[in-house]
Structure 1
Amino acid sequence: MASSINFLGSYSGIDSATIDAMIEAESGKVVQYTNKQTSITAEKNAWKDINTRLDSLFTKLGTLGEDKTFQSKTTTSSDATKVAITAGTDSAASNYSIEVTKLATSTQVTSGVIESAENKTIKDSLDLSGTFTIINHENAGPEVDGKPTTGGFKIEISKEDSLKDIVGKINEKSKESGIQAKIVDNRIVMTDSKMGKRDISFSGTGTIVKDLGFEAIPEENYKVGQTAELTIDGITVTRDTNSITDAVEGLTIELKGVTEASKPVTIGIKEDTDTTVKAFQSFVDQYNSTLTFVGDQLDVGDPSAESNKTGALVGDSSLIRLESELRSLMTQSVNSGNPSYNNLEAVGISVDRYGKATLDSAKLKTALADDPTAVKKILFQTTTTETPGIDEKGEPTTVKTEKEVGMAQKMRSLVDTYISEKTGIIATKSATYDKLSEDISKSITKFNERLEKKRENYVAMFTRLDTAMMQAESQLAYLQSQFSTNES
């Protein structure tokens, strides 16, 4: 075959370049396939971007429904070095006067001189052995069969153990015992992880307690913890912690230092409308971003322009419906229980004729100060209707039906029909695009195979033509030579 192709076109003038041109003229269908595939990819990517924007919109709408958005508080302290405050969503806006007379502390026990540790580093062996037992305030040991045992926490000490090893073994049981140990100047310092007036005692085999410096502990080495004492608006409060969460509902009071006599710390709790405004602004920004992108994908451009450029999803009915319903929801009315606040515009969100939303922060803050419940009901509200029915026994009954009527609820429901991973419109479209692209790829492959077959046929056909023309020329030359011989 190679030798035949080598002289392709030698007689007929139809060579490989001519055949390439003929094949090229017939390959226009491939260009159509490729263009269609490019268009499908562009549409799929556009929907992917829309999904990302809608997902963000869904999240920001959800944030509007969180308690912290409407019930967040700001706090102040006249002296945060003495008293700090954290306010939860269920705290009441108010002021409090706090005096701290005692901070809670933990019991701490420091060993006496450990004779075997003298003239040694903390990593050298102490040549001690025995069982050392730490007994905490509850006198509780490790659980057995789900029940705490008494007798404390046993530490097995061997002759090879250094001071560092022994402290390490004590701390291995800290999670259970609540007693933590450290080394200070070759002595062991034991600290209870809990605060308040609590006991720590020790026992052991042989002379191990004495060897570790915990026998006949000097008074100054045994510091019993104390309970925190404070007054809140004149009411005395005591707790075994410096982080008090149960004295005032919704407040965490952090005691940092003792206050001077008759110089209380004043703390204040106020409604944090800035957090609410920020959440509303974030929603408005994301709504505008989504609508702008959707509009770009539906843009028909200038049909009269020669090089008109349109959006990737021009005429897509699903996207047109999404755009229309999002705009409609922004202007819907909701019965909030307060006729002054029955739509978004009444609380500061206006929408122009192009669908762009704008937030008036001052107007929103006024509404929040006046009736925060009504503002939230515009966004999130579930109504219940009762209709008569018949139960399984045929007896008359009442059927209760709940319906979400808030703007944010409806918009999240709409968005979910598009972005749901399994049943969403975008997921369905994406699967359809993938199938179409796959089918086009198969069609391109088959078409290219047919073109290659046609090329082979052209090559074979024109090679035969060249061969026939060569043979005809050869025969003509032979006949001419014969005529010349006869004439001579």
Structure 2
Amino acid sequence: MASSTSIMGTYSGITMDTIDQLIQAESGKLTQYTNQQTELTNEKNAWKDINTRLDTLYKKFDVLKEPGTFDSKTVSNSNENALKVTAGTDAFEGTYSVTVKRLATASQLTSGTIGSTTDALSLSGKLTFTTVNTEDSTDSKNFFIDVEDGDSLKGIVTKINETAKENKSGLQASIIDNRLVLTDSDMGARTIEIKDETQGQDGVSFTSKLGLEDVQTTLGQSAMLSVNGIEIERNSNTITDVVEGLTFELTGVIENNKISTIKIAEDTEKTTKAIQEFVDQYNSVMSFIDKQLDVGDPSAEGNSTGALTGDSSLMKLQSQLRSLMTSSAKDSSQPIKTLSDLGIEVDRYGSASLDTAKLKEALSEDSNDVQAFFFREESTLVTNPDGIETREVQQVGLSQQMTTFINEYIGEKTGIIITKSETIDNMMKNLDEQITKFNERLESKRERYITQFTALDVAMMEAESQLNYLMSQVGSTTQQA
């Protein structure tokens, strides 16, 4: 008997194309499944984007919790060639007249010349190094190294540096033009001494081999400057203890006692930038939410809607963010009550705008009030059941409110968005299983159709064969008659 693939359709006219059309007609449900998959993918991607935008907004408000955002200072300097000035958050506004008269230097000891720095000196014993402040003999440091027979000058320098570093002895050794050079890492007038307890087989010591009986010694000196007419000396070119919150880095001497004018002022630009960035990011979040909730034009053919139209969690997020932006401070004692006091207005669509002139005016009046509106810590006395009073510290302000609320959505373990994402993943997994089962049913039905229609063709073929046989028998009988 011929195979089913060659017989099917021979008599009935029902071919594989016919079966494909039947299967296609029954696969409408599959289109619904794939459409659902697309919708769920769009929902997940939308929530992922919202999570990213909210995380960025969270970080913008975190910046507004930092004191440095409000307390930073600007520094103007009329002569940066002689000194550089940096201001910490605790620096006071003001103007300072500074003259750099002398830079601090370090003491240095230089030995005589030696022929080879890598040949063994054939010495053994101990070298002790001592540095002493010439103005305060109690300020001294010392350490020693053991010298062995095979040590070269290069090896001894290595030992000096390793031991000095380990003991924090403030001495650095180097080789310059085949000479041993010892430099005190502490600046100012300090003596450098070497106690030599070494000797070679020829009776010559380390001191003799390097010509240390007549060393060249350069005594260091302290830095000298005047600030607002006050003379100051320090054993460093980086000075942090002269003006509260200011660091002076001396880089050159000002000729003819020329004065550098240093002005310290509030850095309102840094604060303004931080607040503008939070406003911009808030608008980005709200604009994206609007697009995801957009219902389009329901009366239009082929109407396009947002990926999260009608989602109650997203509508709550939109409403709560807008509410927090327009809320008033609960503490009536705070000078700044709302964002509008800082020049931030929210229109009826939820979009925010910043009047930088009004913000800078508020900052110039008292930047601490602006900071307190966004973030501050308040302590209250709490009495436990045993009657013991303890002080409880609470973090309050708009930034704290915002980050707490946003975390409800972007929290890594229990956040609304991660929960939504997990739910969507489960739904997509379930859809995948349904699609697999549906395809299996379609394939079974295809096989059943093939079997049925093949059987039909076989039956028709057999019927035709029987008819032909009967016809041949009738013809034969007629001829015999």
- What is the TM-score normalised by the length of structure 2? 0.89
The within-5 A match list for 1:203-352 is 203=196, 205-206=198-199, 207=204, 209-210=206-207, 213=210, 215-218=212-215, 221-260=216-255, 262-334=257-329, 341-352=336-347
Once the 2 structures are TM-superposed, how far is the Cα of residue 227 of structure 1 from its aligned partner? 2.2
Q: Which amino acid aligns with 1:365?
A: K
Does the residue aligned with 1:112 lie in a helix, a strand or coil?
strand
Once the 2 structures are TM-superposed, how far is the Cα of residue 112 of structure 1 from its aligned partner? 0.8
Once the 2 structures are TM-superposed, how far is the Cα of residue 173 of structure 1 from its aligned partner? 4.3
Q: Answer whether contact 2:106 2:219 (CA < 8 A) is retained.
A: yes
1:375-433 C-alpha deviation (Å, 9 max, x unpaired): 2222124455667x6614xx5x6687665441221111111111111111111111111
Name the structure 2 match of 1:179. Answer: 171
The whole-number CA distance in structure 2 between the counterparts of 1:174 and 1:158 is 21
Q: Which amino acid aligns with 1:474?
A: S
The whole-number CA distance in structure 2 between the counterparts of 1:458 and 1:208 is 109
Name the structure 1 match of 2:48. Answer: 48
Match of 2:127 among 133, 138, 147: 133
Q: 1:264 to 1:11 in 2, by over 3 A?
A: same
Q: 1:205 to 1:382 in 2, by over 3 A?
A: closer
Name the structure 2 match of 1:30. Answer: 30
The whole-number CA distance in structure 1 between the counterparts of 2:468 and 2:132 is 124
Name the structure 2 match of 1:86. Answer: 86
Q: Answer whether contact 2:71 2:367 (CA < 8 A) is retained.
A: no
2:452 aligned with 1:461 = yes
Does the residue aligned with 2:345 lie in a helix, a strand or coil?
strand
The whole-number CA distance in structure 1 between the counterparts of 2:421 and 2:209 is 73
Does the residue aligned with 2:285 lie in a helix, a strand or coil?
helix
Q: Answer whether contact 2:345 2:353 (CA < 8 A) is retained.
A: yes
Name the structure 2 match of 1:484. Answer: 475
Q: Which amino acid aligns with 2:475?
A: S
Q: Which amino acid aligns with 1:280?
A: I
- Number of aligned residues: 464
The whole-number CA distance in structure 2 between the counterparts of 1:336 and 1:89 is 26
Once the 2 structures are TM-superposed, how far is the Cα of residue 475 of structure 1 from its aligned partner? 1.7
Q: 1:70 to 1:157 in 2, by over 3 A?
A: farther
The whole-number CA distance in structure 1 between the counterparts of 2:176 and 2:61 is 56
Q: Which amino acid aligns with 1:104?
A: A
Once the 2 structures are TM-superposed, how far is the Cα of residue 250 of structure 1 from its aligned partner? 1.1
The within-5 A match list for 1:398-413 is 404-413=395-404
Q: Which amino acid aligns with 1:126?
A: D
The whole-number CA distance in structure 1 between the counterparts of 2:2 and 2:437 is 26
The whole-number CA distance in structure 2 between the counterparts of 1:155 and 1:437 is 76
Name the structure 2 match of 1:191. Answer: 183
Name the structure 2 match of 1:429. Answer: 420
Q: Which amino acid aligns with 2:307?
A: A
- What is the TM-score normalised by the length of structure 1? 0.87
Q: Answer whether contact 1:338 1:374 (CA < 8 A) is retained.
A: no
Name the structure 1 match of 2:96. Answer: 96
Does the residue aligned with 2:279 lie in a helix, a strand or coil?
helix
Name the structure 2 match of 1:417. Answer: 408
Q: Which amino acid aligns with 1:128?
A: L
Name the structure 1 match of 2:138. Answer: none
Does the residue aligned with 1:111 lie in a helix, a strand or coil?
strand
Match of 1:153 among 120, 126, 145: 145
Q: 1:154 to 1:307 in 2, by over 3 A?
A: farther
The whole-number CA distance in structure 2 between the counterparts of 1:14 and 1:48 is 51
Q: 1:204 to 1:431 in 2, by over 3 A?
A: farther
Q: Answer whether contact 1:111 1:212 (CA < 8 A) is retained.
A: no
Q: 1:338 to 1:214 in 2, by over 3 A?
A: farther
Q: Which amino acid aligns with 2:127?
A: T
1:33-82 C-alpha deviation (Å, 9 max, x unpaired): 11111111110110100111111101111111211111110112222222
The whole-number CA distance in structure 2 between the counterparts of 1:330 and 1:97 is 45
Once the 2 structures are TM-superposed, how far is the Cα of residue 333 of structure 1 from its aligned partner? 1.1
Q: Answer whether contact 2:92 2:264 (CA < 8 A) is retained.
A: yes
Once the 2 structures are TM-superposed, how far is the Cα of residue 316 of structure 1 from its aligned partner? 0.6
Once the 2 structures are TM-superposed, how far is the Cα of residue 87 of structure 1 from its aligned partner? 0.4
The whole-number CA distance in structure 2 between the counterparts of 1:71 and 1:285 is 22
Q: 1:153 to 1:361 in 2, by over 3 A?
A: farther
Q: Give unpaired runs (5+ residues) of structure 1.
A: 140-148
Q: 1:152 to 1:339 in 2, by over 3 A?
A: closer
Q: Answer whether contact 1:244 1:253 (CA < 8 A) is retained.
A: yes
Does the residue aligned with 1:25 lie in a helix, a strand or coil?
helix
Q: Answer whether contact 2:378 2:394 (CA < 8 A) is retained.
A: yes
2:464 aligned with 1:470 = no
Once the 2 structures are TM-superposed, how far is the Cα of residue 212 of structure 1 from its aligned partner? 5.6
Once the 2 structures are TM-superposed, how far is the Cα of residue 374 of structure 1 from its aligned partner? 2.0
CA RMSD after TM alignment: 2.7
